[in-house]
Structure 1
Amino acid sequence: MNVASPARTAAVQLISDPWDDTLISGLLSTLSPPLTSHPCCVTWPCNIPAINPRTTISMGKASLRVDCVLGEGAFATVYQATDPVTSERIVLKVQKPANPWEFYINTQLDARLRPAVRHLYSSVRSAHLFNDGSVLLAELHNHGTLLNAVNSYKTLSDKLMPKPLVLYFTVCILNMVEQLHAVGIVHADIKPDNFLLGER
């Protein structure tokens, strides 16, 4: 039986709600330098501009054509957009209220993960913080999510994903979680629709 020493036990603080706004604001306020000084974090003294499919918006120096809605959740809408100059497609994650924590975690992935495994996780290019929300610009993974892959098998005759493929995805997920834990990051929302499928 392994019993922690009293000194070590006293240092552990249990958090009942890791998504508590006050807790997150407090953690972000202690950063030095502050998150807003990051070169890819832009603060705007206004509300989020209207973002709708088939409109063009300015986001910093970029002019982007909003193509379509990719998904909607309780606190965010995800759009696909195209840079008309380069034809590059990207993701706009519009969050209300603002969620600078997600951008902070992205900066920590950049800093803590080995370059050999960084590509396993999505990457946020820039964060735009507005009075009423935030917009994250991120790379587009156009092969859907793990949930999309699972659901695609429901249309087939046996309706089940083959066991070797299930094992492959399981090993990939466990490896990704292990890499995060090794650098002191905990992901609190592991589910099939949060795993994007890459080019392979």
Structure 2
Amino acid sequence: MSPAAPGGLQLVSDPWDPDRISELLSRLRPPLTSHPCCYSWPCAVPSIGPKKTLSMGSSSLRVDAVLGQGAFATVFQATDPVTSDRMVLKVQKPANPWEFYINTCLDARLPPAVRHLFGSIRSAHLFLDGSIMLGELHNYGTLLNAVNLFRAQSDRVMPPPLVLHFAVCILHTVELLHAARIVHADIKPDNFLLGERWGGVWRTTGTFRR
């Protein structure tokens, strides 16, 4: 911990420190695992891959494909064979319960009229060596995908009015987060998901800090 800042605030030297995050989560009352959409499993993360069927409690999901992969997570598309409902599975190693906690903060703090502007986690499954988050599937890609589409055209740039539109959307979502006392710590084009039309449903994902 660093010395107290002006105004009596205490600065944290590294708010992303895993031990610090674990300490903050341990203080929650009631605990995060008491949430009806948070499940703890006394085993390792099951083997997951395309064409495999994954048992998640009383239901099963068919893993369709890999949608993306990063340093700490792999995102799969999956389908419920009973309802044909499609979703994403975000597999993280090590486990990241903080992401689900921030999701509950978004549910509690954002006005219902704007909650749809941010990604939502249906359920969190915490294992001994990792976690799986079940979330919404978006078929229209990210802002980075849109930028790359224009880069492939003859002009190679996105039209200025569209750039301004997306800039306003980004600033609006960040303003909403700050009003809810949440900081997005990983703002970049591939963390903004596009909806059914330009300027339609606009989703924000990524790393959040309270």
TM range (shorter): over 0.9
Q: Which of these residues, 136, 141, 156, is aligned with residue 144 of structure 1?
A: 141
1:22 aligns with 2:19: yes
Unaligned runs of 5+ in 1: 1-6
Distance 2:52 2:67 in 1: 15
| TM-align CA RMSD | 1.2
Q: Deviations over 1:39-83 (max 9, x none)?
A: 000000000110001111111222100000000000000000001
Q: Which amino acid aligns with 1:192?
A: P
Distance 2:179 2:32 in 1: 23
Q: Percent identity?
A: 73
Q: Which of these residues, 28, 35, 60, is aligned with residue 38 of structure 1?
A: 35
1:181 aligns with 2:178: yes
1:158 aligns with 2:174: no
Q: Which amino acid aligns with 1:140?
A: L
TM-score (norm 2): 0.90
Aligned to 1:110: 107
- 2:149 alignment partner, SS class: helix
Aligned to 1:129: 126
1:53 aligns with 2:50: yes
Distance 1:11 1:74 in 2: 37
Distance 2:76 2:121 in 1: 14
Distance 2:45 2:102 in 1: 22
Distance 1:26 1:33 in 2: 14
Give 4+ residue runs of structure 1 displaced > 4 Å after superposition: none
1:19, distance to aligned residue in structure 2 (A): 1.5
Distance 2:169 2:102 in 1: 21
Aligned to 2:64: 67
Distance 1:132 1:54 in 2: 23
Aligned to 1:171: 168
1:10, distance to aligned residue in structure 2 (A): 5.3
Distance 1:38 1:20 in 2: 24
Aligned to 2:6: 9
